[in-house]
Structure 1
Amino acid sequence: MVKQQINNTALYLRLSRDDENYGDSISIETQRTILRQFVKENGFHVVDEYVDDGWSGTNFERPAFQRMIADIESGKVNCVITKDLSRFGREHVMMDYYLEFYFVDKKVRYIAVSDGEDTDKGLSDFVPFKNLFNEWFAKDTSRKIKTSMNAKFRAGERTCAYAPIGYKKHPDIKNKLAVDEETKWIVEKIYALALLGNGAAKVTKLLIAEKIPTPGYLNYKRYGTFANIYADAPEEKSYAWTIAQVKSILKDETYIGNSVHYRETNVSYKNKHRIRKDRSEWLRVENTHEPIISKEDFEKVQDQIASRRRMSKTATTQIFAGLVKCADCGWSLGFGTNRQNKTPYSHYHCSRYGQLGKEQCSMHYIRYDVLYAYVLSRIQYWSKEAQTNEEKLLKRLLSASDKETGTIKKKQTNELKKAEKRKAEIDSLFTRMYEDFVSERITEYNFQMMSVKYQNEQAELEDKIAELKKKMDAVRQNESDAEKWIALIKEYAEPTELTAPLLNALIEKIAVHEAVKHEDGTREQEVEIYYRFIGKID
């Protein structure tokens, strides 16, 4: 006599934010009622309920789902019951994997109550099609939501979980911001400090010193959110501002009455990983709510952010700030002043070496006056060339550019050929595989599994090809680039001194190499200047 296996059952319930639009028929409580009634009538032993509320069916990294899988792996669960297949998931390849492979391998029984599917009785031939339709439903829902949100954004609506500091959700108008009289003074203070010439780091220190509450702490006090951060935290946590927070507020067009959307997006409706979008793809809608900061003050702050250079202890501007880099590790060179000598002098050194020691990099020491003299002499030289013989200089720049970028272009060209060749091979393999599927030489399961593999590789290759073409365009120095630089340097005819605006207009970066000391005591050091548009030409 064969002993009947005890069904140690997991009741799995899932509801996404999108599903809520379809009423109570698939609510968590409705699912729970159906599943409990089913196990009661059929005598199943329930181990636990696993509930993912607010999680998409295309995402299989759901916390409760992963907890259920862990219990299957440990032998605690050998039966899974859901209301229907869509509650388990809406991605047909992963559904096929769990139903056809994983559950079979782990000897787990699966039941979808409303669909009438039970692995012990054998799944119907319609299951793959049901899973495919469930995925199409998720894709269609995602498309409809995007269309709806786009329409709302263009109409000036502002959808958000929490209003930015200085604002609150409008009490009478849905999806609209209203000025929060209790907190707008914080935003005004931040901008006032910035307008006085303070950088984000200095503003942050001042906010902390005056114990001004952070946006997160204000939300906790008002709505109870972020209790895991603030509930038992020390007092200083309530005003623990960061430089990133201050920078974000100083760059946010919300405070001049604009709404900016689509800064980030998901990779796809299946993959919720967020990626930053190019600025040209942002959607900017002006005058959607009352501003806190004037546009004139906002623009002044943006100009300061773009041109600001760190001040030394003697209140002089470090004109090379942001431009001087270590040629070996790529870190910025730190600025310092030697005051031990009778005549103090300033210098630069590798900040990576300064922080992490000689195991990570070396000093890359260079005096400020030496760097200043060298860079000024090179700019004076090129400025004179541009003024006296523009045509000859143009030919020289194009020749130098070809030498500089030739090796890079050759390498990228070879990589592009390989990627395009592999993509053609994948396209051909995909075609043959489809013919095998139609001729029933391979199973539907294998076809679907291989389809995903090839589709993923196709997508990766397409991204790689696009990226390589973009890089090749970026390094291809053409006549237009050279002409732009010549026109630019001609604006600074015969400069007699260096300034931050001049340096930032003409130069992209300055790479400083480690100095070589010779036996006779002399010191030799290579400094590479990379100019805007044309790169390294010296």
Structure 2
Amino acid sequence: MKQPYNTALYMRLSRDDESYGDSVSIETQRTILRRFAEENNLHVVGEYIDDGWSGTNFDRPNFQRMMQDVEAGKVNCIASKDLSRFGREHIMMDYYLEFVFPEKGIRYIAVSDNEDTEKGLSDFVPFKNLFNEWFAKDTSRKVKNSLHAKFLAGERTFAYAPLGYKRDPDVKNRLVIDEETRWIVEKIFDLAFHGAGAAKITGILLDEQVPTPGWLNYTRYGTFANIYADAPEKKRYAWTVAQVKSIVKNETYIGNSVHGIQTNISYKNKKKIRKPPEEWLRIENTHEAIISKEVFEQVQEQIASRRRKMKTATTQIFSGLVKCADCGWSMSYGTNNSNSKPFHYFVCTNYRQHGPRHCDCTSHYIRYDTLYVYVLSRLQYWSAQSDMGEEHLKRQLLHANDREQQRMVKMRDAELKRAQKRQKELDRLFSKLYEDWAAERITEYNFKVLSEKYQTEQTELLEKIEHLQAELATEQQTVVNIDQWIGLIQQYAHPEELTAEMLNALIEKIVVHEKTVGEDGEKEQTVDIYYRFVGKID
């Protein structure tokens, strides 16, 4: 008796396909597949639609959901409009059509291509798959060339207009000034021009309850509803330092358009990577400016000058090391000039930027000289302990001699790296095997034997890697590299003063707690030092 076909209707549309109109639309695909299923008495168990996904990527969410239903036995037939809707990567297409589907007893139908595994695929299928992959590559190239031509013509492509601008209602892909919001941009640049840093500007915007770009888009177009729909009122004005920095560095506000800041790794791999500035495409005077070039350049000079001073100041030996114990933000370095003798201090950056009204944290204030003396005393203590012998110091750090445990950690780490290397090698061998089979360089029997062998080894490797990673994750919580720590503390033996080099070599972070007041009225403050390799030690 002929088995009933529980059929999945698979549909896919990428952004590049949309330019081809209704012939490949999801609705057109659905109509074709529904009619075919009805005419051929196929029982449809569900539709699986990946809208906006490239055919060269098989990690599509609904494709994976469909394959999970195949594994669960819910689906034994898959239909797509044509081969290209299923995928545009010839090795993976061969993998599914020639190996996965036959092994699992899955019937596959490409309706418009008149291909059906039940009737036997035609000899042209491998060539069709190669053509579909070439088509994806060629389309990617054409899209890039088309965008490049648009950019050179002064056009912009954007999902949302930058703050201070809106879409030109008459000219596609062009910006015009938004008179309702330009004042926010002008205010930010005016503050920056007169010496305010990004943190101070952020505080002013918060205090004056200036609406954020995201909130403005939500109120106008309904976008970002997931963020603002049920959010408290303060979310509307929740500016960040990063947003302010992005605005004051954005050449859009002097009338320029900068393109090509990011690109995909390849037409198959859509992961974004940032390109170096010298490779960006900069087109000047593409729209009306909000800020003059003179003001913009002055602000950029002030930003660069402020950054250089922070990096070269001799007092910044703790830079990047001091953290707030409660919110985790870095501590800001400041100077109190109100007394006849100025002094330096650290304060929580979160608290400093947002203040008590907009921040749940507290100041965690600590004087620089207090922190300096404490850290120096602790380093001097551990240096003195190392003078008493390595074994003595090891016992203090580990509370036991765990040399054997350390050796086992190193062995497991080396074993994990070997397993991960073999896993990558198997992936490469698998791909080569399918290519050889498709080109008939090996027999189907040899293909199946090697495939089963590789699959078995891959399964075993995956289990082994997961097991080793779990063991290492547990052991590395307690096992530390004592030899490296002792080498470092001996390198900086008997320190009389602190240097940035010494601190960065020995210390991972310094965590400052808020002061507490005892019953006797005395204030106490805890400072935790996390050393490199050994973590927090008393």
Instruction: Give the TM-score normalised by the residue count of structure 1.
Output: 0.63
2:248 paired with 1:250? yes
- Specify whether residues 247 and 445 from structure 1 end up closer, same or farther in structure 2 by C-alpha distance, changes over 3 A only: farther
Offset of residue 435 of structure 1:
10
- Specify whether residues 84 and 337 from structure 1 end up closer, same or farther in structure 2 by C-alpha distance, changes over 3 A only: same
- Code of the residue aligned with 2:184 in structure 1: it is I
- Code of the residue aligned with 2:254 in structure 1: it is I
Structure 2 Cα separation of the partners of residues 434 and 70 of structure 1: 26
Deviations 1:283-340 (A, max 9, x none): 100000000001111111111111226999xxxx9934777657999x999646799x
2:73 paired with 1:79? no
2:496 paired with 1:523? yes
2:153 paired with 1:155? yes
**Aligned equivalent of 1:230:** 228
What are the equivalent positions in structure 2 for 1:42-191 lying under 5 Å apart? 42-191=40-189
Offset of residue 528 of structure 1:
4.6
**Aligned equivalent of 2:306:** 308
Structure 1 Cα separation of the partners of residues 372 and 491 of structure 2: 8
- Specify whether residues 144 and 337 from structure 1 end up closer, same or farther in structure 2 by C-alpha distance, changes over 3 A only: closer
Match of 2:218 among 217, 220, 231: 220
- Specify whether residues 433 and 144 from structure 1 end up closer, same or farther in structure 2 by C-alpha distance, changes over 3 A only: closer
What are the equivalent positions in structure 2 for 1:333-348 lying under 5 Å apart? 335=333, 345-346=343-344
For residue 32 of structure 1, give the secondary structure of its aligned residue in structure 2: helix
- Specify whether residues 524 and 517 from structure 1 end up closer, same or farther in structure 2 by C-alpha distance, changes over 3 A only: farther
Structure 1 Cα separation of the partners of residues 54 and 438 of structure 2: 31
Higher deviation after alignment, 47-56 or 36-45: 47-56
**Aligned equivalent of 1:440:** 441
Offset of residue 281 of structure 1:
0.3
Structure 2 Cα separation of the partners of residues 321 and 242 of structure 1: 27
- Code of the residue aligned with 2:277 in structure 1: it is R
Offset of residue 277 of structure 1:
0.2
- Specify whether residues 516 and 525 from structure 1 end up closer, same or farther in structure 2 by C-alpha distance, changes over 3 A only: farther
- Code of the residue aligned with 2:291 in structure 1: it is I
- Specify whether residues 219 and 58 from structure 1 end up closer, same or farther in structure 2 by C-alpha distance, changes over 3 A only: same
Deviations 1:435-469 (A, max 9, x none): 999893567997xx99xx9xxxxxxxxxxxxxxxx
**Aligned equivalent of 2:313:** 319
Deviations 1:501-532 (A, max 9, x none): xxxxxxxxxxx9999675xxx73556659xxx
Offset of residue 122 of structure 1:
2.1
For residue 166 of structure 2, give the secondary structure of its aligned residue in structure 1: strand
Structure 2 Cα separation of the partners of residues 333 and 287 of structure 1: 41
- Specify whether residues 234 and 77 from structure 1 end up closer, same or farther in structure 2 by C-alpha distance, changes over 3 A only: farther
**Aligned equivalent of 2:472:** none
**Aligned equivalent of 2:34:** 36
For residue 263 of structure 2, give the secondary structure of its aligned residue in structure 1: strand
Cα RMSD of the aligned pairs, angstroms, is 4.4
Structure 1 Cα separation of the partners of residues 118 and 101 of structure 2: 11
Structure 2 Cα separation of the partners of residues 152 and 229 of structure 1: 33
For residue 49 of structure 2, give the secondary structure of its aligned residue in structure 1: strand
Structure 2 Cα separation of the partners of residues 253 and 50 of structure 1: 43
1:184–1:292 Cα contact (<8 Å) kept = yes
- Code of the residue aligned with 1:110 in structure 2: it is Y
Structure 2 Cα separation of the partners of residues 323 and 442 of structure 1: 67
- Code of the residue aligned with 1:82 in structure 2: it is S
Structure 1 Cα separation of the partners of residues 251 and 185 of structure 2: 12
For residue 45 of structure 2, give the secondary structure of its aligned residue in structure 1: strand
Offset of residue 344 of structure 1:
6.8
Offset of residue 96 of structure 1:
1.6
- Specify whether residues 84 and 440 from structure 1 end up closer, same or farther in structure 2 by C-alpha distance, changes over 3 A only: same
Deviations 1:379-424 (A, max 9, x none): xxxxxxxxxxxxxxxxxxxxxxxxxxxxxxxxxxxxxxxxxxxxxx
2:322–2:331 Cα contact (<8 Å) kept = no
Structure 2 Cα separation of the partners of residues 162 and 290 of structure 1: 17
- Specify whether residues 322 and 6 from structure 1 end up closer, same or farther in structure 2 by C-alpha distance, changes over 3 A only: farther
- Code of the residue aligned with 1:87 in structure 2: it is R
- Specify whether residues 434 and 252 from structure 1 end up closer, same or farther in structure 2 by C-alpha distance, changes over 3 A only: same
Structure 2 Cα separation of the partners of residues 445 and 54 of structure 1: 38
- Specify whether residues 445 and 346 from structure 1 end up closer, same or farther in structure 2 by C-alpha distance, changes over 3 A only: farther
Percent sequence identity is 62
Give the aligned length: 389
Structure 2 Cα separation of the partners of residues 517 and 364 of structure 1: 22
- Code of the residue aligned with 1:152 in structure 2: it is K
Q: Structure 2: where are the runs of 5+ without partners?
A: 324-328, 350-360, 362-368, 377-430, 455-487, 503-538
**Aligned equivalent of 2:404:** none
- Code of the residue aligned with 2:194 in structure 1: it is L
For residue 286 of structure 2, give the secondary structure of its aligned residue in structure 1: coil
Offset of residue 348 of structure 1:
8.5
Offset of residue 69 of structure 1:
2.2
For residue 275 of structure 1, give the secondary structure of its aligned residue in structure 2: strand
Higher deviation after alignment, 154-163 or 279-288: 154-163
Structure 1 Cα separation of the partners of residues 175 and 154 of structure 2: 10
For residue 128 of structure 1, give the secondary structure of its aligned residue in structure 2: helix
- Specify whether residues 181 and 436 from structure 1 end up closer, same or farther in structure 2 by C-alpha distance, changes over 3 A only: closer
- Specify whether residues 263 and 257 from structure 1 end up closer, same or farther in structure 2 by C-alpha distance, changes over 3 A only: same
- Specify whether residues 205 and 515 from structure 1 end up closer, same or farther in structure 2 by C-alpha distance, changes over 3 A only: farther
Instruction: Give the TM-score normalised by the residue count of structure 2.
Output: 0.63
- Specify whether residues 128 and 322 from structure 1 end up closer, same or farther in structure 2 by C-alpha distance, changes over 3 A only: farther
Structure 1 Cα separation of the partners of residues 164 and 24 of structure 2: 38
For residue 523 of structure 1, give the secondary structure of its aligned residue in structure 2: coil
- Code of the residue aligned with 1:134 in structure 2: it is N
Offset of residue 152 of structure 1:
0.8
- Code of the residue aligned with 1:319 in structure 2: it is A
Match of 1:280 among 270, 278, 282: 278
1:81–1:112 Cα contact (<8 Å) kept = yes
- Specify whether residues 269 and 431 from structure 1 end up closer, same or farther in structure 2 by C-alpha distance, changes over 3 A only: closer
